[in-house]
Structure 1
Amino acid sequence: MLKPILTAGLLALLTLPTHAQQLPKKKAILKTMTRANDYFMKKWPDTGKEIVTNKARPSNIWTRAVYYEGLMALYGVDKQQRYYDYAVDWGQKHKWGLNRGVETRNADNQCAGQTYLALYEIDPQPERMRDIKASIDLMVNSPQVDDWWWIDALQMAMPIYAKLGAMTQDTAYYGKMHRIYTYSKNQHGGEGLYNPQDQLWWRDKDFVPPYKEPNGEDCYWSRGNGWVVAAMVRVLDIMPKGAPHREEYEQMYLSMMKDLPPLQRPDGYWNVSLHDPTHFGGKELTGTALFTYGMAWGINHGLLDKQQYQPIIAKAWNAMQKECVHKDGFLGYVQGTGKEPKDGQPVSYTSKPDFEDYGLGCFLLAGTELVKLQDAPPAKTTAKN
């Protein structure tokens, strides 16, 4: 009888809750974000300068567009004129146009429209929404619904449809967004890119079963699922209550929020392969930042329980700010572009991704929600999770 008693006692000790980490004060969070953003703005004083990696690309591609999403979020909590001017200058340098023009159906090319529309709302100059609205209108008026064949596309494009629907009060934008989203969820890759059993998404058709990770598990890429979380958050933030299909997006968001906490590493990060910590497991900023963004937003809007989720995001943010942000503001542990765990490796404190902009955008999105969390009175939690 002694052994079972000792085992039970040991298990009890092992399962005692550890001391929860605390979030830094609002000033400290803003200081960290400012340092990281200042590094980038100093490095890229010309907002229209081409991005040169393996080839030259215009600076209104998706990587830079995600950065400006983060910058506009930062401007929302820290109204420095230089942030607004930097974003406007970017739009002006590109004549408020899209990579590959109005005719593009590619969500990556349309992503810049999120910032164009945000700037239009601040100062409604027609040219700011001209091209992005024309591009989405072509999509709305087309029968095609198979455009979002990779899950990153949800974040790149869905918030634009939601914003145009809210701005124009035309439900056609909501309807088209839902049809393309539903095709991605239920049909791409054979039976859809979403696995309701694990409540996570495969990145594209290349990763649906029978594809397996080295440990035999399904391949759920951290940043890819982070993009889906961000898509749901941004759409829910925009769409008014009662808008068509809004409840479905909320349920998707809550389902993913259930699955992610147990997958967090003890050091606060999420592995690039969510179900296989042995496949390039380690610290990584972008997926971690996007999950932090989603969870903080949920607390702020009363959809997630603060007592349960705040320790999770505190651990994640503390890890990122202490271990990723260099003295000069450069961000380490950012996985480069790609679509799976092995891409952009190795990831380390000093490794430089092929593009530095989108990682900062993810980081700023997370930080601004934490600032709002510090500012807000306790939200009445609906405990839907």
Structure 2
Amino acid sequence: MVATLSRPRLAITVLALLAGLAPGVRAVPGAQAAPAACADLAPIRLAADHWIAGHGSATDSTWFNALFIKGDIETYRRTGDSKYLSYATAWANHNNWKLPTNAPNYDGPEASQEYLDLYDLDPAHPARDIADAQAYVTKQTARVQGGKVSDLSYVDAVRLGALSAFARLGVPNHNQAEIDAMAKMFAYTEAHIYDRAAALWWRDSRWVGTTQHWSRGNGWIVTALTDTVAALPAGDPNRAHYVSLLQAMFAKLKATQQAGGYWTADVDHPSAYPAPESSGTSMYTYGLARGIQLGYLDAATYTPVAQRSWAWLRDTALHANGVVGYVQGPASHPSQYQPISPTATSNYGVGAFLMAGVEASKFTPGC
């Protein structure tokens, strides 16, 4: 039997019915639209609409597309516009709410987190819509219980391997085994590729002992821990530890933010690859803004950091035609896809931009 998330079954509001949602899509609390006067809604919409216009929802469930869907879902929450929820739901239906079967290593489970987002948004979704997400967590928990804890051996896998899904399924279902499995897998990752002296992460074992810390790689850690912290109860010891890691990381990232508000592909050596990099910058902005809202990052210290990075993303990385540029291509270290072009874009880069914009806009006057 598939475990189901514990949640209230909420009625559809009159306003939702008036919103003209697509068949099978229901608006629920979770779409908390910003005021119409919010100036940041326009750039968020511009980026989302440009990508959607050029890409139908019939895309696969690999992480490239799933990350865009994450941003699209957050855009729905911020704008209340049903077209974004309809797009994400059509994507999930196209993939039968399944994880990809041909993704390498642990790059495939990312989609489970977007399925869980959609499941949370619509209380009418049946449990079968997250059956594949639950099956992945169940299988992975059994692997850990069998002694295999080393699967998340590279930074991408911490996010794409869906660390937060273990908390999001384990906590409401009171499944301590899933939470323990999450903690053990992450503990292995931390023990092997966390550079404690630098408060940053090496991409994988190839870089251990060096001073090279890849921007998007550290962004994967930030987004994974940020969403996991949000899913864990306040008294959970894992949560306290993850918060401490994020606090150390953001102290370092504050010090390495460039004057323009961005980060480069190599966090510690900006002169080596001086072009701005928007996907890592977006992920840091997302983590900064959520950390301030959740109370574990000091607002006076970090709000200016988040505002500077969002200002660069909004005013420079985003072009007038809706293209989100400066996105490093699919990579594993800073030197790839260099120099990064102002118009270099991707689905995951746009998704990260949307995630950043939604959270950072909450600090903009009028929003």
Note the alpha carbon deviations across 1:85-123, whole angstroms, 9 max, x for none.
Answer: 11111111011111117xx89432111011111111223
Tell me the equivalent position of 2:225: 232
One-letter identity of the residue aligned with 1:149:
S
Tell me the equivalent position of 1:198: 198
Aligned partners of 1:202 and 1:219 also within 8 Å: yes
Aligned partners of 2:243 and 2:296 also within 8 Å: no
Note the alpha carbon deviations across 1:180-231, whole angstroms, 9 max, x for none.
Answer: 1011111xxxxx100111111000011112xx4xxxxx11001111111111
- Larger mean Cα displacement after TM superposition, 34-43 or 137-146: 137-146
Tell me the equivalent position of 2:65: 64
Tell me the equivalent position of 2:58: 48
Task: Tell whether 2:115 aligns with 1:111.
Answer: no
Aligned partners of 1:333 and 1:349 also within 8 Å: yes
Note the alpha carbon deviations across 1:329-376, whole angstroms, 9 max, x for none.
Answer: 1111111111111112221212x34xx110011111111112333489
Task: Tell whether 2:312 aligns with 1:311.
Answer: no
| Structure 1: 4+ residue segments shifted above 6 A | none
Partner of 1:167, secondary structure, is coil
Note the alpha carbon deviations across 1:258-314, whole angstroms, 9 max, x for none.
Answer: 111110111111111011122212211111111111111121122222222122122
Tell me the equivalent position of 1:365: 355
Query: For residues 308 and 136 of structure 1, what CA distance do their matches in structure 2 show?
Result: 37
Aligned-residue RMSD, C-alpha: 2.0
TM-score (norm. length: structure 1): 0.81
Query: For residues 44 and 68 of structure 2, what CA distance do their matches in structure 1 show?
Result: 12
**Displacement of 1:243:** 2.9
One-letter identity of the residue aligned with 1:75:
Y
Larger Rg: 1
One-letter identity of the residue aligned with 1:48:
A
Aligned residue runs from structure 1 range 94-133, under 5 A: 94-100=95-101, 106-121=105-120, 122-123=122-123, 124-133=125-134
Query: For residues 104 and 183 of structure 2, what CA distance do their matches in structure 1 show?
Result: 16
Tell me the equivalent position of 1:184: 189
Aligned partners of 1:146 and 1:180 also within 8 Å: yes
Query: For residues 158 and 70 of structure 2, what CA distance do their matches in structure 1 show?
Result: 14
Q: Aligned match of 1:37 in 45, 48, 58?
A: 48
Partner of 1:141, secondary structure, is helix
User: What is the number of equivalent residue pairs in this alignment?
Assistant: 326
Query: For residues 221 and 265 of structure 1, what CA distance do their matches in structure 2 show?
Result: 15
**Displacement of 1:244:** 4.8
Unaligned runs of 5+ in 1: 1-24, 50-58, 187-191, 213-217, 378-385
Q: Aligned match of 1:162 in 156, 161, 167?
A: 167
Query: For residues 128 and 107 of structure 1, what CA distance do their matches in structure 2 show?
Result: 21
One-letter identity of the residue aligned with 1:131:
D
Query: For residues 236 and 97 of structure 1, what CA distance do their matches in structure 2 show?
Result: 25
One-letter identity of the residue aligned with 2:351:
G
